[in-house]
Structure 1
Amino acid sequence: MARYAIGIDLGTTHSAVSYFNLEDGKPRGPSQSMLPVPQVTAPGTVEARPLLPSFLYLPSAQEFPEGSLGLPWSQEPGVIVGDFARSHGAKVPTRLVSSAKSWLSHPGVDRRSALLPWQAPPEVQRVSPLDASARYLRHLKEAWDHTFARAQEESGNALSKQEVIVTVPASFDAAARDLTLEAAKAAGLEHITLLEEPQAALYAWLEAMGENFRRQVQPGEVILVVDVGGGTSDFSVITVKDREGDLELLRVAVGDHILLGGDNMDLALAHTLNQRMAADGRKLDAWQFNGLTYGCRQAKETLYADPSVDRVPIAIPGRGSSLIGGTLRTELTREELDRVLTDGFFPVTQVADLPRTARRTGLAQMALPYAQDPAVTKHLAAFLTRQAQALAASADSPVDVTGKGFLHPTAVLFNGGVFKAGPLKGRVMEVLNQWLAAEGAPPAKELEGADLDLAVARGAAYYGWVRQGHGLRIRGGTARAYYVGVETAMPAVPGMEPPVKALCVAPFGMEEGTQADVPPQEFGLVTGEPTSFRFFASSVRRDDRVGEMLEDVESELASGGWRRWRPLRRRCPDSPRPLAT
């Protein structure tokens, strides 16, 4: 029997741990806590902090004195995780692993291969996105065990024996979720449940409000969760229902995976300053540009934290023995911050202004597949418009969208470190309420009260407590319908591949722990030679049932709200029975 319900926010920029003591019987208040995480903050210095920066530094053999990177549970860890990894890595970016979570969700690379830091020189021993994620989780596990399970009599407190909830973006596909589970198991965690981050944010808000939440949300409310973190923009919609006098929360919509977040914003600021420096005759190489990017991240946080500051200096380290003499200096001003981030990433747009899709060049460098349009407000418009269309086509829509051009939220909950910047939250509310006013709808309200840095971890721990039979649980099941590709039987036609149909194997909203049988059908199975299995997912087809066959999957893919996964390549052994039922 687990003693604690533990929530882990495995974030792109930061990770955190929150926990409930399941044995004290108190649902709120002092019984929920954050774990201070010991981490190296300078050579020879270890401090416990509530956040563990999700950065991994791979030091060279003689870079630091022996024992100077020791942790309470390991005197020679070999790598650096956390605060010092981030700060020192800004000076030596070719040895710094960042955005591992974004790489973990990248279907175009082998996420088990050692490829990070991206474009590191040959002498750097790279790690895989999976391994980097496992190292962050292992650090958190060791920190927990050092705090709660050092003595033999405390062995029942070990993290491996607790109920652990690890959060993932709602838009993570099944492959990315499986890799997250694999990373957790590699870190020594055993009893793992995944929870979508927007749901965790709402759970944190419910926990913070207590019974007062009933004064802020009523039956019929449509809550939009806007979650913009370090790597992704995630949108979810949760409705409030009245079921026999009790409130019920139902997750009704989840957006597509949009690789657009704080990392993009830091890069945009770095490009802005780089252009200014180039105009002054100071050109940066790729190594220096990485240093500028990390400097922009720190300057951005400083400007947003203190409105009285108008500009922040940035030092870009040089290379070689004379590091100080080779240092370049610039600054980030508040005017540049507002112009690039507020107007560039959150522009005032109409709801009909959808994200642009630029034509790709035939050859491109391999990198993260960032969103082609940086306007978060346009992606939000596309999400609300597409979901209104999907709900209108559904036979049993939980939200009334009659006569509406887009799904109308009545309340907005923000999540993600990006929204620690008040001007960015204000811009989203301004744009959304303009859209609502244009359709004669009342303005949406903001749900306030949750800590943007800690909400996801706290909400995950609270969900662990809810799973014990307490509190209010968000229902919803799978956020997508899932399909397997089936090749059409047809005569050979020169220059034309046989069309692929899509067989539904898991419908939208299928609840956790349930199963469904595919109605009997006959399929031909290719044996004795390499082949591939194709899989698809849709966030907009809400009424398909298990066994239903879609005839034209290509047109569905072109309509939006669909995802095509990388084919699973297998060789089936020779068999005397070529037909599988």
Structure 2
Amino acid sequence: MKDARYIVGIDLGTTNTVVAYADLDTDRPAKSMAEIKVFQIPQLTDAGVIDKKDALPSFLYIKEGHELSSDALKLPWDETTPVTAGEFARERGAEVPHKLISSAKSWLCNQAVDRESSILPWETSALIDKLSPVQASCALLSHIKDAWNHEIAKDSDSLRLENLAIYLTVPASFDAVARELTVKAAHMAGLQDIILIEEPQAAFYAWIDKSGDGWRDNVEKGDLVLVCDIGGGTSDFSLIEVNEGKDGFLELERVAVGKHLLVGGDNIDLALSYFLAAGLKEKKKKLDSWQMRGLVHSCRKAKEKLLSGDDIEEYPVTVLGRGSGLIKGTIKIALAIEDLQKVVLDGFFPVCNLEVEPASASSTGMKEFGLAYEADPAITRHLAKFISSHKDDKGRPKLPTAVVFNGGVMKSAIIRERIMEVLASWQEFAGQGTIREIDAVDFDLSVAWGASYYGQAARGDGIKIRGGLGMSYYMAIEASMPAVPGMPMPTRALCIAPFGMEEGSHAESRDRLFNLVVGEKVNFDIMTSSTRHEDSVGSVIDNWEDMDIEDLTSIETQLDGEGENFIPVTFEVKVTEVGTLEFWACSRDDDRKWRLELNIRPKD
């Protein structure tokens, strides 16, 4: 909304949600940026206790029975909500895990489940009112909306969050389905004016805002900046190239996006808990599942303290006992800094060469169904694969010349130094110079901060990064050839939206006709690629299964067409200003069009 007073950036994170805003109704020089602030989010931190924090932990606790009417769990703005979000939800949910919803964002991009079905909490058979990943995301955004309206809007309807321009961040690796579902969750929460922005770009915008006009002194033409974002639940990588524009000024373009990797700080906490549990087991002290959950929670606190840079050699960890002798059975141990460094650096950030591949999943015949966690926890090996898959004109990996770190894990100087060591070794091996670290604004808050900056830049008040789609999209089309007994008809991949297609742009393919099947149930298989940057709208790829093109989703639908079976069509595609993808099949002979919705069901 162009006339809104505030521009709001929301980082809907896997483990924490942060809100930043710029007040445009302030005196400042023309064309200068409004000051950005972080919204202090009121939330339950304990039963009956409400505090304001920089971040809202992205956890939901499902209330039941007497909790639904308990004054201790009520918020100032709502007495009827069936869930509680934030710090209390995280702490209480750790004790009652069957009522805790976490990682809703990761479930939102899980292609193997129906993301609009009530499936969370995942691993519970308790008779409670479950939520879908979309509903869980909506609940977090609803808390943000209600908290903002209670604190800032007061009696002014124009300042209510639903009446403001919202810039909502998503991982660069989110596909079109996950983006559409994110927007849907926001709309369900009552937030209608939504624009999506990629998290790595937002982190880079935060750095630009911090640097002011001096940002151009820290990068130069030809720089390739790696944005390394490692948070509590995920790791994301992007490459931003610095070019010279027509007017001689530097321009920024996002040129590569990595896959959505489910490995991060939560994995580190789990590894540390298993390390300590193994030591206890040697002393004939075996922990049950309830105690292990508590140990993971304690290890997170210990990790944060030991990696804070305060020269702490060890940090106490307490494991509560079980049964009537609860206090008597309490186990007290300590996590030493040298053990933490060994587990974290050797396990998650090992030194490796650029040609290394992440370990593949085991060949176990049966696996638990759930989130698609990475089989290899070594983040540096995933980084090697990302960088080595993006090559220059001579077929050599495009190595970054600078790096911006983001995410809670990156608060540790020890981890940042290890990643820089690995990156420098790749540069040295390839003979491509040195790499430097660009100072981040804040590893926890910069994404929301940068989203608010982008909102101002979108109005012409700042620098914009050229980005567009972070992957290419394809549709499977059945080949036109004679049938062969016993052989299924082969399919080809039709490029319907190329990498880099920008928000608000429109493209169409009129040079080739296709037969659209109408009047009966059919499937449209959608695929993606994050590395095929040369394909254009209408390109057809044979043997696509071997061409770095992967399944995304399958749309099952029945298109209207009375008395017809096949309709000759062309197609057009649009990347909306919101950041989602629209595909239309267009009749050759009249003005009929059929839109295909991407958020249907997972690929079989």
Are 2:32 and 2:461, in contact at CA under 8 Å, matched by a contact in 1?
no
Residues 496 and 76 of structure 1: CA distance in aligned 2, closer, same or farther (over 3 Å): same
Q: Which residue of 2 aligns with 1:226?
A: 228
State the distance in 2 between where 1:378 and 1:12 align: 22
Q: Which residue of 2 aligns with 1:133?
A: 137
Aligned length: 563
The alpha carbon displacement at 1:295 in A equals 2.2
Q: Which residue of 2 aligns with 1:261?
A: 264
Q: 1:13 pairs with 12, 15, 28, which one? A: 15
The alpha carbon displacement at 1:492 in A equals 3.8
Q: Which residue of 2 aligns with 1:471?
A: 462
Q: 1:540 pairs with 531, 539, 564, which one? A: 531
Provide, for residues 416-440 of structure 1, a one-character-per-residue CA deviation record: whole Å limited to 9, x for no partner: 1110111110000000001101122
Secondary structure at the counterpart of residue 252 of structure 1 = strand
Q: 2:52 pairs with 48, 58, 82, which one? A: 48
Are 1:267 and 1:293, in contact at CA under 8 Å, matched by a contact in 2?
yes
The alpha carbon displacement at 1:317 in A equals 4.4
Q: Which moved more, 1:566-575 or 1:364-373?
A: 566-575
Q: Which residue of 1 aligns with 2:441?
A: 450
The alpha carbon displacement at 1:511 in A equals 1.5
Are 2:222 and 2:242, in contact at CA under 8 Å, matched by a contact in 1?
yes
* Matched ranges for 1:142-541 at <5 A: 142-151=146-155, 154-243=156-245, 244-317=247-320, 324=327, 327-388=330-391, 391-392=392-393, 402=394, 405-541=396-532
Q: Which residue of 1 aligns with 2:117?
A: 113
Are 1:91 and 1:317, in contact at CA under 8 Å, matched by a contact in 2?
no
State the distance in 1 between where 2:277 and 2:316 align: 14
Q: 2:546 pairs with 545, 555, 562, which one? A: 555
State the distance in 1 between where 2:63 and 2:316 align: 27
Aligned-partner residue type, residue 218 of structure 1? E
Aligned-partner residue type, residue 13 of structure 2? G
Are 1:502 and 1:553, in contact at CA under 8 Å, matched by a contact in 2?
yes
Q: Which moved more, 1:104-113 or 1:312-321?
A: 312-321
State the distance in 1 between where 2:27 and 2:363 align: 56
Residues 327 and 112 of structure 1: CA distance in aligned 2, closer, same or farther (over 3 Å): farther
Aligned-partner residue type, residue 241 of structure 2? T
Secondary structure at the counterpart of residue 127 of structure 1 = coil
Provide, for residues 131-169 of structure 1, a one-character-per-residue CA deviation record: whole Å limited to 9, x for no partner: 111111111111111122121xx1111111111000011
Secondary structure at the counterpart of residue 508 of structure 2 = coil
Q: Which moved more, 1:289-298 or 1:326-335?
A: 326-335
Counterpart check, 1:88 vs 2:79: no
The alpha carbon displacement at 1:306 in A equals 4.9
State the distance in 2 between where 1:474 and 1:274 align: 47
Q: 1:33 pairs with 12, 37, 47, which one? A: 37
State the distance in 2 between where 1:74 and 1:516 align: 46
The alpha carbon displacement at 1:63 in A equals 5.3
Aligned-partner residue type, residue 237 of structure 1? L
Secondary structure at the counterpart of residue 566 of structure 1 = strand
Q: 1:565 pairs with 539, 544, 552, which one? A: 552
Residues 323 and 218 of structure 1: CA distance in aligned 2, closer, same or farther (over 3 Å): same
Structure with greater proportional strand content: 2
Residues 316 and 121 of structure 1: CA distance in aligned 2, closer, same or farther (over 3 Å): farther
Q: Which residue of 2 aligns with 1:396?
A: none
Residues 298 and 149 of structure 1: CA distance in aligned 2, closer, same or farther (over 3 Å): same
State the distance in 2 between where 1:487 and 1:77 align: 49
Aligned-partner residue type, residue 435 of structure 1? W
Secondary structure at the counterpart of residue 142 of structure 1 = helix
Are 1:250 and 1:474, in contact at CA under 8 Å, matched by a contact in 2?
yes
The alpha carbon displacement at 1:342 in A equals 1.1
State the distance in 2 between where 1:318 and 1:112 align: 39
Are 1:480 and 1:540, in contact at CA under 8 Å, matched by a contact in 2?
yes
Residues 87 and 130 of structure 1: CA distance in aligned 2, closer, same or farther (over 3 Å): same
Provide, for residues 319-364 of structure 1, a one-character-per-residue CA deviation record: whole Å limited to 9, x for no partner: 6676545655444322221111111111000111121223443321
Are 1:115 and 1:127, in contact at CA under 8 Å, matched by a contact in 2?
yes
The alpha carbon displacement at 1:451 in A equals 0.6
Provide, for residues 289-340 of structure 1, a one-character-per-residue CA deviation record: whole Å limited to 9, x for no partner: 3332222222211221254322333334466676545655444322221111
Are 2:518 and 2:566, in contact at CA under 8 Å, matched by a contact in 1?
no
State the distance in 1 between where 2:561 and 2:71 align: 57
State the distance in 2 between where 1:351 and 1:280 align: 41
Q: 1:577 pairs with 540, 564, 585, which one? A: 564
Provide, for residues 88-136 of structure 1, a one-character-per-residue CA deviation record: whole Å limited to 9, x for no partner: 2222222221111111111111111222222124233322221111111
Residues 307 and 372 of structure 1: CA distance in aligned 2, closer, same or farther (over 3 Å): same
State the distance in 1 between where 2:289 and 2:127 align: 17
Residues 350 and 575 of structure 1: CA distance in aligned 2, closer, same or farther (over 3 Å): same
Are 1:92 and 1:291, in contact at CA under 8 Å, matched by a contact in 2?
no
The alpha carbon displacement at 1:499 in A equals 1.8
Aligned-partner residue type, residue 428 of structure 2? A
Aligned-partner residue type, residue 7 of structure 1? G
Aligned-partner residue type, residue 61 of structure 2? Y
Secondary structure at the counterpart of residue 117 of structure 1 = coil
Secondary structure at the counterpart of residue 504 of structure 2 = coil
Are 2:22 and 2:34, in contact at CA under 8 Å, matched by a contact in 1?
no
Secondary structure at the counterpart of residue 222 of structure 2 = coil
Q: Which moved more, 1:237-246 or 1:453-462?
A: 237-246
State the distance in 1 between where 2:253 and 2:308 align: 35
State the distance in 2 between where 1:68 and 1:345 align: 41
State the distance in 2 between where 1:184 and 1:136 align: 10
The alpha carbon displacement at 1:491 in A equals 3.8
Are 1:90 and 1:295, in contact at CA under 8 Å, matched by a contact in 2?
no
Aligned-partner residue type, residue 544 of structure 2? V
Are 2:24 and 2:34, in contact at CA under 8 Å, matched by a contact in 1?
no
State the distance in 2 between where 1:59 and 1:330 align: 33
State the distance in 2 between where 1:303 and 1:473 align: 38
Residues 323 and 494 of structure 1: CA distance in aligned 2, closer, same or farther (over 3 Å): farther
State the distance in 2 between where 1:568 and 1:379 align: 31
Aligned-partner residue type, residue 83 of structure 1? E
Instruction: Could you tell me which runs of 5 or more consecutive residues in structure 2 were left unpaired when the two chains were aligned.
Output: 570-604
Secondary structure at the counterpart of residue 174 of structure 2 = coil
Residues 341 and 495 of structure 1: CA distance in aligned 2, closer, same or farther (over 3 Å): farther
Identity %: 44
Q: Which residue of 1 aligns with 2:63?
A: 59
Aligned-partner residue type, residue 253 of structure 2? L
The alpha carbon displacement at 1:49 in A equals 1.0
Q: Which moved more, 1:435-444 or 1:276-285?
A: 276-285
Secondary structure at the counterpart of residue 534 of structure 1 = strand
The alpha carbon displacement at 1:464 in A equals 0.4
The alpha carbon displacement at 1:498 in A equals 2.0
State the distance in 2 between where 1:340 and 1:575 align: 64
Are 2:277 and 2:287, in contact at CA under 8 Å, matched by a contact in 1?
yes
Q: TM-score, normalised by structure 2?
A: 0.89
Aligned-partner residue type, residue 159 of structure 1? L
The alpha carbon displacement at 1:218 in A equals 1.4
RMSD of equivalent CA atoms: 2.1
The alpha carbon displacement at 1:500 in A equals 1.5
Secondary structure at the counterpart of residue 270 of structure 2 = helix
Are 2:22 and 2:37, in contact at CA under 8 Å, matched by a contact in 1?
yes
Secondary structure at the counterpart of residue 412 of structure 1 = strand
